[in-house]
C-alpha cells in the first residue's frame, strides 16, 4: 500500500504554492521565494518526468536547492533536478539533485573561507606543447590558456582545481583522464545526463570534488552539506539517501494530496533524517578498505557492494570508528565468528569496540616463563633507496615533516593501507589523501 508521500502530487501548481512558506524560511536573502517557485515550475514543465516523481522526493529536492540558494536552471548550470528510478524502493520515480561545477564554485566563493577557486580542463595538445605544467610542492599550476584552442571531449587529458583561502594558503588538485572516467563510472548516470552532454563541465566538477573532499581545504558547513547531498557524489544509490532532508518535509497540506488516497498520519511516514550527512566518498572508501582487509585475513572474496556494506560503513563512521580502528579488530572478529562469517554481521560498532578492548596490553603474568634465547642475528639489510621527492612523494613527505613524524611511521602507514612504495608513480589523489589523513591521525591532528 503506497502512502501519500510516495505518490506524485495531483495538483502540481497547488503543491508548489503550498511549498512557498517553507522555501521562504530557508532561502538566502538574495533570492525571492516567488522566483524560486517560478523556476521550479518551469523546470517541471520543461521535464514532464519530474511531475511523476514522489511528493517526498520533490519536497526533499526543492528544500535542498532552497537551503543551498542554488536555482535549478539548466542554462545557469548551478544545480539540476533529475528524475530517476529508485530500485531500492520498488522502481518508483524520485526527484534527485545534481550540483553543477558552477554551483560548487558559487558555494565555495560564498563560504567566507575561500578567496579564489578555479577549475579547468587540459587537452592533450596543451600537455604536448608544454603550455600546461604543475608541481605538487610548492603547489603550483602553469596553464597558458589559449582562447583559440580547439579540442573534442575525447581529447581531454586532465582536469585541475586551484584554491586560495582567505588566509593565503594555496591548494591544487590535478586528475588525469583515467581518474575522471573512473569517477564517471561510479556515477549514478554515467551514460546519461551531463556526463553525456557536457563532459568538460563534469571533468571540472570531478577535480573540484577531489580537492574539496581531500581533507586539506577548509569548508563551510553549507559547502560540506552540498558535497554530501550531491547525487553524483556517491558510487551507487544507497537506501535512504533521498531522506537526508526529510526533516524539512514535515506535513503536506491536504489540498495537494490525492482525494482518494488512504487516510494516514503524514508526519509519521517520513524517515528520520541522517544524524550527520557525510561525503559519499568517505563511506565508499571505508567499505572498500573494510572488505578488502576482511578478505585478506579470512581468505574470502566479498565485494564492497553499495546495497550491503556501505550502510555498515555508515554506522561505523557515525560511531566515530574509522579504518585505522578497524584494522586490529578484524582478525579478532574473524577468530571469534569464523572465516565464513558475513562481515556485515560482525563489523558492528559494538563488536568492533569490544574487539579493540582486547587488543590493549594484557596484565603482566605473575610468573612469566624464561625469555627465549634471541635468534641468530640476521645479515644487515641492504641500504634503502632514498625516496624521490617528486609527484605524490613531495606532498606526502612534506606532510610527514610538518607533523614531525619519523620515516618509520610513514612506512607503517603504507603497510596499513596496503600500498607499495614501488607503485608510487601510479598513485591517485585519493591514495595521497588517504596517506595524509592517516599521518595526521597518528600525529593527533586528524
pLDDT tens, residue by residue, 307-355: 677 778 777 776 666 655 677 888 888 888 888 888 888 888 888 888 8
- Residue written as grid cell 557525510: 278
Residue 198 burial (CB < 10 Å; 0-12/13-18/19+)? middle
Q: What is the pLDDT along the chain (446 residues), one digit of tens a residue?
A: 455 556 677 788 888 888 888 888 888 877 888 888 888 888 888 888 888 888 888 888 888 888 888 888 767 788 888 888 877 777 888 888 888 888 888 888 888 888 899 999 999 888 888 899 988 888 889 998 777 676 788 899 999 999 998 888 889 999 999 999 988 888 777 877 778 888 998 999 999 988 887 777 887 777 777 777 665 543 322 223 333 322 222 233 333 323 233 322 222 222 323 333 344 555 666 777 788 888 888 888 887 776 677 778 777 776 666 655 677 888 888 888 888 888 888 888 888 888 888 877 555 555 555 566 666 655 555 555 555 555 677 778 878 888 888 888 888 888 777 676 666 666 677 778 888 888 888 887 65
The residue written with cell numbers 645479515 in the block is 379
Amino acid at each position: 500500500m503506497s502512502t501519500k508521500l510516495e505518490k506524485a502530487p495531483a495538483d502540481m501548481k497547488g503543491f508548489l504554492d503550498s511549498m512557498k512558506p517553507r522555501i521562504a524560511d530557508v532561502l538566502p536573502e538574495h533570492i525571492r521565494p516567488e522566483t524560486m517557485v517560478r523556476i521550479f515550475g518551469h523546470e517541471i514543465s520543461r521535464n514532464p518526468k519530474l511531475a511523476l516523481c514522489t511528493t517526498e522526493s520533490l519536497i526533499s529536492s526543492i528544500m535542498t536547492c532552497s537551503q543551498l540558494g542554488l536555482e535549478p536552471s539548466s542554462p545557469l548550470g548551478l544545480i539540476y533536478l533529475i528524475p530517476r528510478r529508485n530500485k531500492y524502493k520498488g522502481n518508483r520515480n524520485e526527484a534527485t539533485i545534481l550540483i553543477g561545477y558552477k554551483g560548487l564554485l558559487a558555494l565555495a566563493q560564498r563560504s567566507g573561507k575561500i578567496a579564489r577557486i578555479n577549475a579547468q580542463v587540459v587537452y592533450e595538445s596543451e600537455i604536448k606543447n608544454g603550455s600546461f605544467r604543475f608541481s605538487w610542492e610548492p603547489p603550483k599550476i602553469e596553464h597558458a590558456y589559449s582562447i583559440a584552442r580547439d579540442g573534442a571531449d575525447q581529447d581531454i587529458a586532465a582536469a585541475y582545481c586551484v584554491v586560495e583561502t582567505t588566509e593565503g594558503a594555496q591548494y591544487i588538485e590535478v586528475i588525469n583522464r583515467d581518474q575522471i572516467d573512473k569517477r564517471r563510472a561510479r556515477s549514478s548516470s554515467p551514460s546519461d545526463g551531463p556526463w553525456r552532454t557536457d563532459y568538460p563541465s563534469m571533468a571540472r566538477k570531478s577535480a573540484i570534488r577531489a580537492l574539496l573532499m581531500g581533507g586539506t581545504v577548509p569548508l563551510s558547513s553549507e559547502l560540506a552539506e552540498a558535497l554530501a547531498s550531491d547525487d553524483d557524489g556517491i558510487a551507487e544509490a544507497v537506501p535512504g539517501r533521498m531522506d537526508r532532508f526529510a526533516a524539512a518535509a514535515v506535513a503536506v497540506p491536504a489540498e495537494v494530496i490525492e482525494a482518494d488516497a488512504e487516510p494516514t498520519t503524514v508526519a509519521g511516514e517520513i524517515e528520520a533524517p541522517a544524524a550527520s550527512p557525510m561525503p559519499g566518498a568517505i563511506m565508499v572508501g571505508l567499505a572498500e578498505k573494510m572488505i578488502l582487509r576482511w578478505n585478506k585475513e579470512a581468505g574470502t572474496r566479498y565485494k564492497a557492494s553499495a546495497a550491503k556494506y556501505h550502510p555498515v560503513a555508515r554506522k561505523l563512521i557515525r560511531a566515530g570508528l574509522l579504518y585505522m580502528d578497524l584494522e586490529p579488530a578484524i582478525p579478532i572478529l574473524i577468530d571469534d565468528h569464523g572465516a565464513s562469517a558475513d562481515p556485515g554481521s560482525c563489523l558492528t560498532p559494538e563488536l568492533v569496540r569490544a574487539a579493540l578492548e582486547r587488543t590493549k596490553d594484557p596484565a603482566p603474568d605473575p610468573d612469566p616463563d624464561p625469555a627465549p634465547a634471541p635468534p641468530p642475528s640476521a645479515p644487515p639489510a641492504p641500504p634503502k633507496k632514498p625516496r624521490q621527492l617528486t609527484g605524490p612523494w613531495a606532498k606526502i613527505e612534506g606532510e610527514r615533516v610538518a607533523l614531525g613524524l619519523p620515516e618509520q611511521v610513514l612506512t607503517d602507514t603504507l603497510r596499513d593501507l596496503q600500498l607499495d612504495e614501488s607503485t608510487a608513480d601510479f598513485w591517485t589523489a585519493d591514495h595521497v589523501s588517504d596517506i595524509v589523513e592517516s599521518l595526521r591521525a597518528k600525529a593527533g591532528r586528524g
